[in-house]
Amino acid sequence: MTNDVMPVLTDSAPQSRYVQVALDVPLEGPFDYACDEPVAVGARVIVTFGRRRMVGVVVTSDAKPSVGLTTIRSIERVLSDLPPLPESWVALSRFSAHYYQRPLGEVMLPALPVALRRLSHYEGKRSGDGPVAKWRGRKQKPQKPVTTQEKPPELNRAQLEAVQAVVNQRGFGAFLLHGITGSGKTQVYLSAAAAVLARGGRVLFLVPEINLTPQFAGALRRRLGHVVPPQGVAILHSGLSDGERLDAWLRTVEGGVQIVLGTRLAVFAPMPRIDLIVVDEEHDPSYKQQEGLRYSARDLAIWRAQQSKATIVLGSATPSLESWHKAKQGHYQLLSLPERATQASLPEVRLIDTRRLALNNGLAPVLIEAIEQTLSKGQQVLIYLNRRGYAPVMHCTSCGWVSSCEHCSVFSVLHRSNGNRLRLHCHHCGSQRPAPAACPSCGDQDLQPMGRGTQRLEEYLGELFPEARLARIDADSTRRKGSAQTLFDKVHAGEVDILIGTQMVSKGHDFENLGLVGVLNADAMLFSQDFRAPERLFAQLMQVTGRAGRHEQANATDEPGARAQVLIQTGYPEQPVYQALRAHNFSGFATALLKDREDTGLPPFAFQALLTAEASELPEAVGFLQSARNEANSWLAANDLSQQVTLYDAVPLRVVRVASVCRAQLLIESATRGDLHQLLRAWLPLLGTRHGTGRLRWQIEVDPLEI
Q: Per DSSP, which regions of 104-228 are E strands?
A: 173-179, 203-206
261, 189 contact by CB (below 8 A): no
Q: Quick one: 425 or 472, whose CB is closer to Zn ion?
A: 425
How near is the Cβ of 424 to Zn ion at its closest, in Å? 10
Instruction: Write a three-state SS string for 614-644.
Output: EECCHHHHHHHHHHHHHHHHHHHHHCCCCCC
Smallest gap from Cβ 276 to Zn ion, in A, equals 44
Mapping DSSP onto H, E and C, the string for 27-79 reads CCCCEEEEECCCCCCCCEEEEEECCEEEEEEEEECCCCCCCCHHHCEECCEEE
Closest distance of CB 404 from Zn ion, Å: 9
Residue placing its CB nearer to Zn ion in the complex, 162 or 394: 394
Distance CA 21, CA 294 (A): 22
Please state, in angstroms and as integers, the Cα–Cα distance from residue 44 to each residue in 105, 269, 361, 404, 684, following that order.
12, 17, 60, 48, 29
Under a CB-based contact definition with an 8 Å cutoff, are residues 543 and 566 in contact? no
Rank residues 92 and 408 by Cβ distance to Zn ion and give the closer one. Answer: 408
State how far the Cα of 420 lies from the Cα of 424, in Å rounded to an integer. 13
Shortest separation between residue 402's beta carbon and Zn ion, angstroms: 10
> Using CA atoms, how far apart are residues 542 and 149, in angstroms rounded to an integer?
33
β-strand partners of 60: 20
* Least distance between Zn ion and beta carbon 18 (Å): 48
| SS3 of residue 238 by DSSP | coil
Q: How far is the CB of 93 from Zn ion (least distance, A)?
A: 34
Per DSSP, 601 falls in state: T
Shortest distance, CB of residue 401 to Zn ion, whole angstroms? Answer: 4
SS (H, E, C) 522-545: HHHHCCCCCCCHHHHHHHHHHHHH
Cβ–Cβ < 8 Å for 481, 244 = no
Q: Please, which residue, 638 or 655, has the CB nearer to Zn ion?
A: 655
Q: How far is the CB of 528 from Zn ion (least distance, A)?
A: 21
Q: Binding residues for Zn ion, per CB under 5 A?
A: 396, 398-399, 401, 405, 407-408, 426, 428-429, 439, 441-442, 444
| CB nearer to Zn ion: pick between 405 and 539 | 405
Kindly provide the residue ranges of all beta strands, DSSP E only, lying in 281-430, ordered along the sequence: 311-316, 333-337, 348-353, 380-384, 393-396, 413-416, 422-425
Q: DSSP characters for 450-516?
A: ES--HHHHHHHHHHH-TTS-EEEESTTTT-STTHHHHHHHHHHTT--SEEEESGGGTSS---TTEEE
In this structure, are residues 311 and 166 in contact, taking their beta carbons and an 8 Å threshold? yes
Least distance to Zn ion, CB of residue 413, Å: 10
- Which is nearer to Zn ion, 133 or 399 (by Cβ)? 399
For the CB of residue 400, give the shortest distance to Zn ion in the complex, in Å.
7
Closest alpha carbon to 553 in 377, 340, 384, 337: 377
| Residue placing its CB nearer to Zn ion in the complex, 42 or 449 | 449
DSSP conformation class of 127: G
- We find the least distance from the C-beta atom of residue 420 to Zn ion, in angstroms, to be 24
Dist CA 141 CA 491 (whole Å): 32
Decide whether 60 or 398 has the Cβ nearer to Zn ion.
398
Question: Which lies closer to Zn ion via its Cβ, residue 248 or residue 426?
Answer: 426
CB burial class (10 A; 0-12, 13-18, 19+) of residue 64?
Answer: exposed
Output phi, psi for 539, to 5 deg.
Answer: -60, -45
563 in Cβ contact with 347 (< 8 Å): yes
Pick between residue 61 and residue 431 the one whose CB is nearest to Zn ion.
431
Residue 257 backbone dihedrals phi, psi, to 5 degrees = -110, 130
- When the beta carbons of 132 and 662 are compared against Zn ion, the nearer one is 662
Burial 533-547 (b: 16+ CB within 10 A, else e): bbbbbbbbbbbbbbb
Q: Which one, 280 or 614, has the nearer CB to Zn ion?
A: 614
Instruction: Tell me the closest approach of the beta carbon of residue 283 to Zn ion, in angstroms.
Output: 30
Within 10 angstroms of residue 583's Cβ, the number of other Cβ atoms is: 11
Residues 6+ positions from 73 with CB-CB distance below 8 Å: 11, 12, 33, 34, 47, 48
Q: Which is nearer to Zn ion, 87 or 406 (CB)?
A: 406
Please, what is the minimum distance in Å from the beta carbon of residue 121 to Zn ion?
36
Tell me whether residue 405 or residue 564 sits nearer to Zn ion (CB atom). Answer: 405
238 vs 448 by CB, closer to Zn ion: 448
d(CA 331, CA 173): 9
Q: Which is nearer to Zn ion, 130 or 652 (CB)?
A: 652
CA distance 600 to 646: 14
Q: What single letter denotes the amino acid at residue 402? A: V
